[in-house]
Amino acid sequence: MDPQRDYYEVLGVSPDATLEEIKKSYRRLVRKYHPDVHHDKKLAERAFVQISEAYRVLSDPDKRRSYDLERSARRREAASRARQSASGTGKGSSASPPPRAGSARPQGQTAGGPAAQKAVRDAEFAFIRGRLSEAESHARRALRADRTCARAWEVLGDVHQARNRQEQALQFYSYAVQFDPRNHSALGKLERLMARTGRPRPAAGKAGEVPRRGAPAGALLHMAGWCAVFLVLFVWVPAVPALEPALSPQGLESVLEGWNWAVVPPLAVAGLLMGLLLRSGGFFRHHADEMVFQTITRGAARPQAAPVGLLLVGVSLVLFWLALGVYLAMASVQDSMSRSLTRAFTVTLIFVLAAALLSQMHVAMLLFGGNVVFVSLLAGWWMVDFWREAGEAR
């Protein structure tokens, strides 16, 4: 177990967690990240060792007490070093030259110091958990500290391969091999991907340069988009009249009493705009990370993916509130929630509640308005990812 890694952080529990909470978290992590069920066994083995070691210490009261004392001492020492470093800043410091491509170091070694090492470990752990955007963020953080960190380039290759971006994955694996020719893991992945795609190894280009993602939409464009959303909410939706109910509505007519299908276009436009704006503004992560829940079946060769996005779209077309219930139930079973999907549901709820107050069909809007808004919002979210990937492929 890496002494730099906090055992509580590994198990995802707080320092004052009870033994039962520690056991529950350990069982959940073991089910998810056991090497026998993960497709990248080397990464899974590293994570499994960390999880097992953390549980071994924290589940034993005496060992946990000793660990807590050592942990407190390490934190005090780190704080003391930070104060000394801050007080000595500017005394004879000299800038070090930028790293050069080809300056190989032993596999796994990182020259960027503890910050880069921790960022790489976090990236690997996030990738194993299926959190691709989080893994990419940590890997890029490691590269900001050390642009020649082969392990960080390898994780970026893993992330892009998981997203089926073969060209970018080849590029990143090539960087990993360039900076550490003894990185047999990255070399094997590069050769397998080259054989599968039938493409030669890409030119490494400007060594150490982290490819930049497309710039977000301009602030003015975002402001215009949100102004359009508010115009729809405060002008278009209230302008749609409620239909006169039948004299004695029965069956579906009684449920849809007052509902006017002419309100569907403004709701769809508002949902689509909100999906586009929230995704391009960074409030949603990549849909491939958020629309799939990983499940593990005993004896399975690898984790199975549950396409929760498609399920939610289908259920939302019938009833938004039912889709919300399904999502909460699945999140409870998985013992985790998607931050982006939670935001999508929250935004839809706020919009529908406001529309129900402003429209002329209060109850019908509250019941069925979310059906249109939520599905349209997911469509806008997906469209931004599609455009970005199409742009990267060119």
Give the pLDDT of residue 335: 62
Euclidean distance between CA atoms 391 and 298, whole angstroms: 40
Whichever domain contains 62, its CATH number is: 1.10.287.110
| pLDDT band at residue 12 using 50, 70 and 90 as cut-offs | confident
pLDDT at 27: 81
Does residue 214 lie in a domain region? no
Same domain, 229 and 125: no
Band the pLDDT of 316: cuts 50, 70, 90.
very high
Does 245 lie in the same domain as 345? yes
pLDDT digits (tens, 9 = 90+) for 319-376: 999 999 999 988 777 666 778 889 999 999 999 999 999 998 888 999 999 999 999 9
**In terms of domains, do 66 and 123 share one?**
no
- Check residue 1 and give its pLDDT: 40
Q: What's the domain count of the chain?
A: 3
What's residue 297's pLDDT?
A: 38
pLDDT in the model for residue 276: 95
- pLDDT value, residue 217: 47
* pLDDT, greater one: 233 or 387: 233
The pLDDT tens digits for 230-280 are 999 999 999 999 876 554 455 555 556 778 999 999 999 999 999 999 998
* CB 43 within 8 Å of CB 128: yes
Please tell me whether residues 76 and 136 are part of one structural domain. no
- Considering the domain architecture, whether residues 286 and 155 belong to the same structural domain is answered as no
Based on the domain organization, do 291 and 355 belong to the same domain?
yes
In a domain, 211, yes or no: no
Q: Residue 171 above 80 pLDDT? A: yes
Claim to verify: residue 188 and residue 232 sit in the same structural domain: no
Specify burial of residue 77 (Cβ count, 10 A radius: 0-12, 13-18, 19+).
Answer: exposed
Asked if residue 96 has pLDDT above 70, the reply is: no
pLDDT for 174-206, tens place per residue? 888 888 888 888 887 887 877 766 555 555 554
Q: Across the chain, what does the average pLDDT equal?
A: 77
Mean pLDDT of 137-158: 90
Same domain, 40 and 144: no
Least confident of 16-20, 40-44, 137-141: 40-44
pLDDT above 90 covers a percentage of the chain that reads 25
Q: What pLDDT is recorded for position 177?
A: 83
- What confidence score (pLDDT) does residue 394 get? 55
Residues 252 and 356 reside in one and the same domain = yes
CB 174 within 8 A of CB 205: no
Residue 183: CATH number of its domain: 1.25.40.10
What are residue 294's phi and psi, to 5 degrees?
-85, 130
pLDDT tens track for 343-353: 999 999 999 99
**Integer angstrom CA distances of residue 170 from 31, 99, 146, 191, 200:** 31, 22, 20, 9, 9
Structural domain includes residue 2 = no
Cβ contact 177:187 at 8 Å = yes
pTM of the model: 0.52
- The parent domain of residue 46 ranges over 7-81
Residues 240 and 383 grouped into a single domain? yes
Write out pLDDT tens, residues 50-95: 788 888 889 988 889 888 888 888 778 777 777 776 665 444 443 3
- Residue 245: the pLDDT is 58
Q: Is residue 210 part of a domain?
A: no
Q: 108 lies in a domain?
A: no
Residue 200's pLDDT is what?
Answer: 59
How many residues in the chain? 394
- Cα–Cα dist 46/35, whole Å: 9
Look at residue 312 and tell me if it is in a domain. Answer: yes
Summarised one tens digit per residue, pLDDT across range 201-218 is 555 554 444 444 444 446
